[in-house]
Amino acid sequence: MDIIVIGAVAGGATVSSQLRRFLPDARITVIGKDSRMGFATCGMPYVLGGLVDSMDSLVSVTPEQFWDKKSIDVRLRHEALEIDRRSRSVLVRNIVTGETETLHYDKLVLSPGGSARNPEIPGSPSIPIFTLRHFGDMVNFEDYLESEKPRRGLVIGGGFIGVELAENFRSLGIITDLIEHNGRIMPIADPDMSGLLEEEMEKNGVTLHLGKEVCSVDSGTVSLDDGTEIEVDFIAAAVGLEPNTRLAEEAGLGIGPTGGIETDPFMRTSDPDIYAIGDAAEGRDWFTGKPKRVPLAWAAHRQAFIAAGHIAGGTTEMDGLLGTSITKLFSLTAGMTGLSEKMLDEENMRYETIVHESRSNAGYYPDNGKLRLKIHYDPDTRAILGAQAVGEKGADKRIDIIATAIRGRLTMDDLAAIEIAYSPAYSSPKDPVNMAGYKSMDRPGQ
């Protein structure tokens, strides 16, 4: 069997490796536009901030290793130009030499990822504007920071990448402003949880401009729509990504309402011989079953396993996405899983909410921190619909427990009954997860 994988980062590297495990005799070819494969895109902000010493440490594997250990042919700096579904072939171009080649496939896996959105910046900026998506983006950005040693920087976008970049710029001593056109940072979270993160950013010297837009850039002066002017040496744009669906669209594959490539529970596209995974693939929401696209690493790796397994004859399905996520922001950690207030309201779903504020572990133990845990649940079935946690310690543990509880279809009453490991260094006799369950009960045995 001839299998071609388009894309060589998280999804592409993982699916090809899984395919080799399931199909030892298949001929597998991976096509990647970047200069590296399998690199950890999530680690890029921490390379720029110096927390990760070397950008090469983000690269987990090389094409030579893939060939030597797995007999997988990885072709970097190559681009898939066209898919011919009738002849089951892909036209591939060597970006370095310009030479083209037509490769045959029996099964094709699309893992093209996404491209960073470039914000519309009116005016005549004469300062560098960076995005952070590909390995080369990080190389260019790090070279600039090391050679120019800028004094002031502007981040456009207050999502995951934006807030992480702001933190890392501050660690370099760069005076940092952040603009978010929504009225708050991390708009995926509930407003009260975003507010905690805003306080943390301001406390650490990040100047926030919320609900604002860039009006113009003249040389190094950025003017906002409220009249504010900011002097900056560079701009880091983190305004989201666009799924790379050109190949799929030109091949006539279905594109869903989220802008991603339509897939079934086995990650097959509208062509049963073509699969799609990762940032460009559209899945389904765990609760509603509606189309949902989660451009995060966990989803890509899980989808890779599902697709590879199905190509090999397996029947495991991708049964829904919770969108579980987490980020570090100075002294705080913020995590979430499932549906937020906004999502629940948009779906017209009835819900009630429990908020529990406590220490992460025993208050008398020296190493403890503040923790705010918020859980939405169905008042009739008491099913858990979503949770968020922000704290100095332990937010990750609680979100992971609740994500597991949702997949296990546990209720708020079950949260009270989970026997969570206790020691003063790690928890409390009644963990915050337990306490949230207890607080949701009107009476014993509810």
Query: Is residue 327 domain-resident?
Result: no
The last residue of a domain, from among 311, 346, 366: 311
> Is the residue at 341 inside a domain?
yes
* Rounded Cα–Cα distance for residues 321 and 83 (Å): 29
**Same domain, yes or no: 413 and 378:** yes
Average pLDDT over residues 305-321: 97
**In terms of residue numbers, what domain contains 430?**
333-439
Contact 190, 340 (CB under 8 A): yes
Q: Are residues 124 and 263 in the same domain?
A: no
pLDDT band for position 126 (cuts 50, 70, 90): confident
Asked whether residue 147 is domain-assigned, the answer is: yes
Q: Residue 136 is part of a domain; what is its CATH number?
A: 3.50.50.60
Q: Greatest CA span in the chain, whole angstroms?
A: 73
The upper half-sphere exposure of residue 350, i.e. CA atoms within 13 Å in the direction of its Cβ, equals 5
How far apart are alpha carbons 142 and 132 in whole angstroms?
11
**What three-state secondary structure class fits 446?**
coil
pLDDT above 60 (res 366): yes
Task: Examine the fold and report which residue of 193, 219, 239 is the final residue of a domain before the chain moves on.
Answer: 239
Q: What angle do CA 413, 417, 418 make, to 5 degrees?
A: 120
For residue 319, give the amino acid letter.
D
- Assigned domain for 404 exists: yes
- Backbone phi, then psi, for 423, in 5-degree steps? -155, 145
User: Interior CA angle at 244 toward 241 and 62, to 5°?
Assistant: 95
Q: What separation in angstroms does the CA of 115 have from each of 7, 239, 284?
A: 13, 11, 22
Asked if residue 124 has pLDDT above 90, the reply is: no
Residue 179: φ, ψ to 5°: -110, 130
Domain end residue (candidates: 311, 344, 372):
311
Query: Does a structural domain hold residue 445?
Result: no
Which pLDDT does position 54 carry in this prediction? 85
Mean pLDDT across the chain: 95
Residue 445 pLDDT class (50, 70, 90 cuts):
low
Q: What is the pLDDT of residues 286-296, one digit of tens each?
A: 999 999 999 99
Instruction: Please give the pLDDT value at position 443.
Output: 58
Q: Tens of pLDDT along 301-312?
A: 999 999 999 999
CA distance linking residue 157 with residue 288, whole number of Å: 28
Name residue 111's amino acid.
S
The model's confidence at residue 55, banded by pLDDT at 50, 70 and 90, is: confident
Please report which confidence band the pLDDT of residue 117 belongs to, taking 50, 70 and 90 as the band edges.
Answer: confident
Structural tokens at position 10: 């998280």
Residues 202 and 288 in one domain: no
Average pLDDT over residues 110-117: 93
274 and 418 both lie in a single domain: no
What 3-state class would DSSP assign to 205?
coil
Catalytic residue positions?
Answer: 42
Give the per-residue pLDDT at 193. Answer: 97
Give a yes or no: residue 316 inside a domain. Answer: no
Decide: 94 and 32 in contact? Cβ < 8 Å. Answer: no
| 66-74 mean pLDDT | 96
**Hey, is 107 helix, strand or coil?**
strand
How do residues 402-441 score in pLDDT, each as one tens digit? Answer: 999 999 999 999 999 999 999 999 999 999 999 999 999 9
> Would 299 be classed as within a structural domain?
yes
373 and 431 in a common domain:
yes
* Phi, psi for 282 (deg, rounded to 5): -100, 125
Look at the block and give the residue holding tokens 């976008």. 157
Do the domain assignments include residue 190? yes
Q: Are 74 and 67 in contact (CB under 8 A)?
A: yes
**Band (95; pLDDT cuts 50, 70, 90):** very high
* pLDDT score, position 156: 95
Q: Is the pLDDT of residue 360 over 70?
A: yes
Domain count, the chain: 3
